[in-house]
């Protein structure tokens, strides 16, 4: 049986998302924005109630905003995946022979000899051709499909978990050590998260940790400065 020429690639755009990485970024956001917010309020000379209120409002607003943003962005990824799937379904209907050749070529490129690649492609196509194409051509794996609601919830939870750290530091520390507690707890958490995030992404850990340390310190110093200015002006 002569092998038909491989069909040209149909220009699919598969998207992959690493939720663990998204969670690290969400927690990072929660720490930086809440620490900045709480420090700004502390620097203004506000009392415990105002600090707590601002911190909780910041946590809730940030978590909701993360959830909304994530939901919108992952929904459009899901739309792309759905369009890819639909395109694949139509191609299989219109040109099953061409699609079989395409699948064979994919297995050949992965190192199987022609005969075996054909055999694998035929067997998998008899079983569930669409599933084989979706997995091996589009690279969409079922456990990595875009799930907007899951993404929204996990980033909101990650943001809240991060935001709780400076908030708890502000609440639990004695008044005289409040600023120091927020800064130390937040920077320590940022460094740990930065290292963890770099590890997940396969990047060196020290530069990543130093980077978040730099940005985190700058954010806190700036909001603290603004809070102090507003506190003396008002
Ligand atoms: Zn295909």
As averages over each run of 10 residues, the pLDDT of the chain (234 residues) reads 43 49 88 95 92 96 94 91 92 93 94 94 92 88 80 93 96 93 95 84 81 91 93 81
Give the Å distance between the CA of 101 and the centre of ligand 1.
9
pLDDT value of residue 194 = 86
pLDDT value of residue 18 = 59
Give the Å distance between the CA of 73 and the centre of ligand 1.
26
Calpha distance 128→104 (Å, rounded): 15
Calpha distance 154→68 (Å, rounded): 12
Cβ neighbours of residue 6 closer than 8 Å, sequence gap 6 or more: 101, 102, 104, 105
Give the Å distance between the CA of 13 and the centre of ligand 1.
13
């Amino acid at each position: 049986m002569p092998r038909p020429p491989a069909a040209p690639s149909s220009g699919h755009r598969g998207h992959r998302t690493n939720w663990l990485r998204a969670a690290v970024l969400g927690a990072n956001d929660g720490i930086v924005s809440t620490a900045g917010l709480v420090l700004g309020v502390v620097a203004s000379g506000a009392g415990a109630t105002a600090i707590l209120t601002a911190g909780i409002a910041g946590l809730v607003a940030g978590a909701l905003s993360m959830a909304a943003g994530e939901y919108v962005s992952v929904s459009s990824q899901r739309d792309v995946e759905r369009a890819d799937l639909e395109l694949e379904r139509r191609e299989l209907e219109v040109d099953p022979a061409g699609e079989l050749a395409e699948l064979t070529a994919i297995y050949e490129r992965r190192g199987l000899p022609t005969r075996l690649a054909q055999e694998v492609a035929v067997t998998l196509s008899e079983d569930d051709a669409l599933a084989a194409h979706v997995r091996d051509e589009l690279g969409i794996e079922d456990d990595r499909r875009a799930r907007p609601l899951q993404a929204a919830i996990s980033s909101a939870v990650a943001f809240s978990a991060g935001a709780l750290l400076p908030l708890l530091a502000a609440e639990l520390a004695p008044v005289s050590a409040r600023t120091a507690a927020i800064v130390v707890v937040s920077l320590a958490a940022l460094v740990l998260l930065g290292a963890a995030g770099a590890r997940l992404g396969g990047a060196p850990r020290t530069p990543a940790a130093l980077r978040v340390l730099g940005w985190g310190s700058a954010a806190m110093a700036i909001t603290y400065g603004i809070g102090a200015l507003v506190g003396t002006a008002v």
